[in-house]
Structure 1
């Protein structure tokens, strides 16, 4: 979650549709931005954030009282919205879902590892390749 709360305005490049993420050990990686997210970020930057009293902050996500959103606030927001939707939302679940969906859609492990910021594909495989009973059945049906 520290990757999320530490995103700076300068890390967002809407021209090249990339987001620069600072991961563990201060390592940088670039993650592509979907066009729909570009529009949302642009709307946020030109509207709510521009009008915010702390709009000079270098950080992308602000709160009412701080120049940078913190982990506790993210967790509170996820709990609040999760309650409304009757689901449990946690930051790491989003990461897990992101990686799992990419793998299930056939994206190679190396690309998923790079997007996740893993130095080693073994880490990605260990945490995100969960072969379900259905996956095994589909594999057998391919024979």
Structure 2
């Protein structure tokens, strides 16, 4: 399929990646949604508000979730705004689209004891890999960083004396995150005792795989899943991120500090963790109060 709109979509994807600094996942989402739209809207003459509403309406009829409809709306609005700046459209047609409200589900989080068991349960029987995996688990829980951020760390990004790491997040935004003594000790053991024998020559990555190159995010996810067995539930890296944020708030951290640590561009994204804490507070109340 090669149409006027399809060609523009490819240009928009390049702009989103190279100029706007969007993540690969975001660019893939934009491109997938917009190529689907292009089957209904092949030219910019067809790019009307009614056509966009029809596209979203058909998706709803097909049983697409509210989250999918919201993502498609965001994709269309981003593309429409760009198309106006490029001269493809006279007006920002998609700006009038209403974003569907998404039902937000409270994320699963581990309890404090479960989290402690999780970080101490690296499953590898190989000593160097055990030290690496333990360091990765400790860092993920200590900082709440994303897997892509963890795998993107270089040795030079970690200051063990100060207990901080320089993280490159979404949109190439850099932030500094602190971590405690347990993570410091685990990372130091990995760097001093195991990494020299596993890392390839001149490899800058903090964490490496069996071939001595930067570790793949999929491998980190497998490490997390195996370690999570001890908790009695299926554990993902994103749930560890949720857990870190929730435990920070329960420990008295300010919401804006948590926002900065997690690298959220909007405080609204961080606010879901206040709901998590409230739900857990209610659970404790029900178990502990005689009149609950």
Same fold (TM over 0.5): yes
RMSD over equivalenced CA pairs, Å: 2.2
Instruction: Tell me the residue number matched to 1:129.
Output: 274
Hey, which of these two has a bigger chunk of helix by percent? 2
2:241 counterpart (84, 95, 98): 95
Hey, which of these two has a bigger chunk of strand by percent? 1
Counterparts in 2 of 1:122 and 1:39: CA distance versus 1, 3 Å: same
Which sections of structure 2, spanning at least 5 residues, go unmatched?
1-146
The within-5 A match list for 1:42-121 is: 42-54=188-200, 56-83=202-229, 86-121=232-267
Instruction: Report the CA distance between 1:85 and its aligned residue.
Output: 5.0
Instruction: Tell me the residue number matched to 1:25.
Output: 171
SS at 1:129 equivalent: helix
Which sections of structure 1, spanning at least 5 residues, go unmatched?
none
CA contact under 8 A between 2:199 and 2:212: conserved in structure 1?
no
CA contact under 8 A between 2:255 and 2:270: conserved in structure 1?
yes
Larger radius of gyration: 2
Counterparts in 2 of 1:105 and 1:47: CA distance versus 1, 3 Å: same
Residue by residue over 1:76-109, the C-alpha shift from the partner in whole angstroms, topping out at 9 and shown as x without a partner, is 2222233355331210001100111111122111
Query: Equivalents in 2 of 1:119, 1:65: separation in Å?
Result: 36
Residue by residue over 1:14-67, the C-alpha shift from the partner in whole angstroms, topping out at 9 and shown as x without a partner, is 122210110001111111121222121111111110122525311111110251
Give the number of aligned pairs: 138
CA contact under 8 A between 1:49 and 1:55: conserved in structure 2?
no
Query: Equivalents in 1 of 2:230, 2:164: separation in Å?
Result: 31
Counterparts in 2 of 1:128 and 1:53: CA distance versus 1, 3 Å: closer
